[in-house]
Amino acid sequence: MNRSIARSLLASLFAAAALGVGSLAHGQDVEIFNTVKLKLAAGQKVVGVTIATPDPDIYCAAANAGFDFVWIEMQHSPLTFAETARMIWACKDAPAIPFIRVPSATEGDIQKATDVGALGVIVPMVDSVEEIQRAVRFAHYPPLGTRSQGGGQYRDLYGPSYRQAANDNVMIVAMVENPVGVELAEDIANVEGVDVVFVASSDLGSFTGLPQGNPEYEALVDRTKNATLSAGLGLGGPLAWMNTRPEYNFFQAPTTTTLVRAGAEVVLRSADPCFGVPSGVAPVEGEDPCP
């Protein structure tokens, strides 16, 4: 079956699954508990908050704040899998789905990420087709992959039918962060089992030395975007692109520390209109000076 047709059929299946239940090719129902996958298939946009601290209270506050998923940052943080497991368990009924950006696409990291309950595996710095093919294989049980059955809290999180439903729920996000990845964008997007291709805007600028808006930079972004959309996949990028690049539907929001700072400013400004304004200077021309 043509890959785009297969994906269209899968999207229709998910969109029609009002109760989160799909039907396998052999007629057996499978529960779809990954609401991110359902929302993308239904044409909706999803946003994930970034967590890089091991505090379960912060995780729970973020997971219940209205985000679609939690981007648990293990590539650029000292988070351990034990800490990540505790956070996910602390808010096992939160509406935001746990995704983990693994330190690297090794079998061990991906096995641990899925064992602690991640329904999304974010693979950083994809610059070879073989790497993302291995990631897909490590994240899925046979016959689709080589994931082994071991310990973990996934059954307690998602129920006794997890083994039968896991392959239909775990998502793979491939991050394109450098020009090598862009050159392979078409091949990466056409790896069966990849669900989203994410354009890492800052790293792409770092590797090329080009700012956003530069024609050469935008050509790299467009090539990745076109390859992803042609393959019928989700297209990811920073939250700042949500209202400026309508083709994107999978977004990474800032870290919780950024959100705490922004929230604190809102609270302080609502209590004190002169918050942040030097003493004796009116916040708006013509108003009484701040005390």
DSSP string, 182-233: HHTHHHHHTSTT--EEEE-HHHHHHHHT--TT-HHHHHHHHHHHHHHHHTT-
Question: What pLDDT is attached to residue 25?
Answer: 40
In a domain, 24, yes or no: no
- Half-sphere exposure (CA, 13 Å, Cβ side) for 284? 2
Mean pLDDT per 10-residue run, the chain (291 residues)?
41 44 54 97 98 96 97 97 98 97 97 98 98 98 94 94 96 98 98 98 97 97 98 98 97 92 90 78 64 61
In a domain, 171, yes or no: yes
Q: How many domains does the chain have?
A: 1
Nearest to 139 by CA among 178, 175, 187, 102: 102
Dig out the tokens for 76 from the structure: 């650029």
Dig out the tokens for 257 from the structure: 């520390």
Question: What pLDDT is attached to residue 4?
Answer: 43
For 27, 76, 277, the CA distances from 80, given in Å and listed in that order, are: 40, 11, 42
In a domain, 79, yes or no: yes
Nearest to 92 by CA among 77, 70, 74: 70
In a domain, 137, yes or no: yes
C-alpha 118/C-alpha 70 separation (Å) is 10
C-alpha 64/C-alpha 94 separation (Å) is 6
In a domain, 168, yes or no: yes
pTM score > 0.75 for this model?
yes
C-alpha 40/C-alpha 71 separation (Å) is 16
In a domain, 78, yes or no: yes
CATH number of the domain that 150 lies in?
A: 3.20.20.60
| Full domain range(s) for residue 74 | 45-271
C-alpha 155/C-alpha 235 separation (Å) is 30
Dig out the tokens for 154 from the structure: 């996934």
Question: What pLDDT is attached to residue 211?
Answer: 96
C-alpha 171/C-alpha 121 separation (Å) is 6
In a domain, 141, yes or no: yes
In a domain, 4, yes or no: no
Question: What pLDDT is attached to residue 98?
Answer: 98
